């Protein structure tokens, strides 16, 4: 199986951008393609941010795919702009879960990858800081990998380098990859569409900030001990 090229699912957030940096190091930038989905999320700014990041890394092949019909099929706070973000009383999942999203993304990414003869797909999901997203779990990704291989009679390999990492460890990985400042300042994770450190209020910002604080505390301590 050829594994010399990779397609990264890039949203422009911390996790997928860390994946992009890792892919560039592991495969060489010229062997990295990226794909971004526009699906009526609160901020189409996400797509602009992803395009800017792809250019920054020198990715020549970056595809943006519109799934603008998605919001008409599902009710969700990310897609329905009048619904407040949060957790509905008694709900097991936050109302920012978009049903089927990663399955759909992986399917479309796989179709695109196969057309280019690419076998490896990379997605920045993690089950460590599990926030109630069922399609971020390892068991889902493994099952999806089997299904895609059967569906297209092709050997895909879905890579999830962040699966077992906490948010703090994801910041550490970004730092090792030399992308810490870029990811801190130029990525968009905030549900309210504020680049970098974000609004500080939404669940996504709080998770990102908590991880960053943990990592920075460890880094400062490590630097102190090294002296």
Question: What does the alpha-carbon distance between residue 139 and residue 148 come to, in Å, rounded to a whole number?
Answer: 14
Specify whether the CB–CB gap between 13 and 189 falls below 8 A.
yes
Q: How far from 35 is each of 65, 132, 160, CA to CA, in Å?
A: 7, 25, 16
**Residue 50 or 190 with smaller CB distance to Zn ion:** 190
Candidate residues 55, 199, 221, 222; the one interacting with Zn ion per rule CB under 5 A? 199
**Residue 160 or 204 with smaller CB distance to Zn ion:** 204
- Which stretch, 65-73, 106-114, 205-213, 216-224, contacts Zn ion (CB under 5 A)? 205-213
Residues 57-76 that bind Zn ion (CB under 5 A): none
**Residue 166 or 192 with smaller CB distance to Zn ion:** 192
CA–chain centroid gap for 134, Å, is: 15
Q: For the residues of 151-197, what is the DSSP string, one character each? A: HHTS--EEE-TTTT--HHHHHHHHHHTT-HHHHHHH----TT---TT
Number of residues in contact with Zn ion, rule: CB under 5 A?
Answer: 6
**Residue 91 or 199 with smaller CB distance to Zn ion:** 199
| Nearest approach, Cβ of residue 114 and Zn ion (Å) | 36
Question: What does the alpha-carbon distance between residue 178 and residue 176 come to, in Å, rounded to a whole number?
Answer: 5
Candidate residues 79, 168, 202, 212; the one interacting with Zn ion per rule CB under 5 A? 202
Q: Does 31 bind Zn ion (CB under 5 A)?
A: no
**Residue 112 or 210 with smaller CB distance to Zn ion:** 210
- Which stretch, 20-28, 50-58, 91-99, 203-211, contacts Zn ion (CB under 5 A)? 203-211
Candidate residues 118, 144, 205, 212; the one interacting with Zn ion per rule CB under 5 A? 205
3-state class of 120 per DSSP? Answer: strand
**Residue 111 or 199 with smaller CB distance to Zn ion:** 199
Residues 6+ apart with CB under 8 A from 34: 7, 8, 9, 10, 20, 50, 54, 59, 61, 62, 63
Residues 6+ apart with CB under 8 A from 174: 14, 17, 18, 21, 180, 183, 184
Q: Mark residues 154-193: x for contact with Zn ion by CB under 5 A, - for none.
A: ------------------------------------x-x-
| Nearest approach, Cβ of residue 95 and Zn ion (Å) | 15
Residues that bind Zn ion (CB under 5 A): 190, 192, 198-199, 202, 205
């Amino acid at each position: 199986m050829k594994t010399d090229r990779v397609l990264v699912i890039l949203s422009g957030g911390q996790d997928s951008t860390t994946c992009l940096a890792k892919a560039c190091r592991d495969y060489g930038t010229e062997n990295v393609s990226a794909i971004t989905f526009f699906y009526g999320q609160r901020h189409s700014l996400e797509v602009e941010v992803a395009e800017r990041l792809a250019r920054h890394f020198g990715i020549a092949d970056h595809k943006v795919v519109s799934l603008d019909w998605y919001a008409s099929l599902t009710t969700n706070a990310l897609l329905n702009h009048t619904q407040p973000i949060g957790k509905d009383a008694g709900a097991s999942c936050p109302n920012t879960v978009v049903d089927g999203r990663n399955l759909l993304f992986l399917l479309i990414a796989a179709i695109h990858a196969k057309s280019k003869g690419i076998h490896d797909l990379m997605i920045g999901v993690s089950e460590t800081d599990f926030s109630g997203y069922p399609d971020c779990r390892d068991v889902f990704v493994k099952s999806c990998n089997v299904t895609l291989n059967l569906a297209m009679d092709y050997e895909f390999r879905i890579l999830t380098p962040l699966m077992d990492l906490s948010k703090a460890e994801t910041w550490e990985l970004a730092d090792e990859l030399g992308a810490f400042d870029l990811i801190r300042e130029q990525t968009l994770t905030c549900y309210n569409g504020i680049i970098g450190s974000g609004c500080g209020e939404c669940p996504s910002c709080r998770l990102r900030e908590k991880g960053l604080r943990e990592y920075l505390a460890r880094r400062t301590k490590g630097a102190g001990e090294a002296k």
